[in-house]
Amino acid sequence: MNFPLVLLILLVVTGGIWLLDYFVLRHKRLSDSTEPWWVEYPKSFFPIILIVFCLRSFLVEPFKIPSGSMIPTLLIGDFILVNKYTYGIRLPVANLKIIDMNEPQRGEVMVFRFPEDPSIDYIKRVIGVPGDTVTYRNKQLSINDIPVLLEQGSDYKYVDGPAYIYTQRFKENMEGNEHDILINEDMPDIQLSAIHHFPNRENCTFDRTGFSCKVPEGNYFTLGDNRDGSSDSRYWGFVPENHIVGKAFLIWWNFNDLSRIGTLIK
């Protein structure tokens, strides 16, 4: 379901009825008569829908994490808030930017419309900005031929369906932005058979040791923090600027782990 579109339709319908009643219908009703239900209910809901629409479209939007691609930063079941204005003010539904503000930076966690199906929202970490060359070989990420600093941490395990996955936690330092990632040394750097055909694919080279991609103008390159358990830009390509939704910044709820409430996303 395209919730922003549904919300916009509800706003237009209830607001239209409110305007119709304000300028036309109320003047035709007898002074002691009551409003018909089809006027009363839309008028009652219109202010609420307007507030939700404005908050969700221009300030913050809630999301629920459905997969483990961003473990250990984000867990399945985390409810997060996304800043809708930090990357620019956009028209609802059309997602057309009307006011420029900040651009996504390397290391930030970004929500965007999945390039292959814009009705689906994805969340990944920004790795490459326009003009960057992103290389990942033998589990080492480099940007513009400069290796990203890694500090090995403790062992890590998580549940993936019926199985436990055992892997290694690392702290990645991307221009001062420190965050945890997972690397499974037993997994290949990239699954060559899973690579899709995508726009600007000629900017990338792939082999069994990894890949290298030059990020075209107006696009971004993203990876999941669960490096060996994520479907991301290495498989389906670059994220166009007009697919950006916002920057994830806060975990506001998790039914399975209340200690995660209030955790800032970095």
Provide the annotated active-site residues. Answer: 69, 124
CB 21 within 8 A of CB 37: no
Helical residues (DSSP H) of 197-240, grouped into ranges: 233-236
Residue 257 CA, distance from chain mean position: 22
CA 194/CA 233 separation, integer angstroms: 12
Q: Which residues pair with 41 in a beta bridge?
A: none
Residues 181, 196: Cα–Cα separation, whole Å = 24
Helix (H) or strand (E) holding 109: strand 109-113
Alpha-helical runs (H) found in the chain: 3-20, 26-28, 37-54, 233-236
Q: Is 74 exposed, middle or buried, given 0-12, 13-18 or 19+ CB atoms closer than 10 A?
A: buried
Distance between CA atoms of residues 260 and 251, nearest Å: 7
E strands, the chain, in order: 60-64, 79-83, 89-90, 97-99, 109-113, 121-128, 133-137, 140-143, 146-147, 149-160, 163-174, 177-183, 204-207, 210-214, 219-223, 239-240, 244-253, 263-264
Instruction: Please choose, from the candidates 124, 183, 128, the residue with its C-alpha nearest in 3D space to the C-alpha of residue 150.
Output: 183
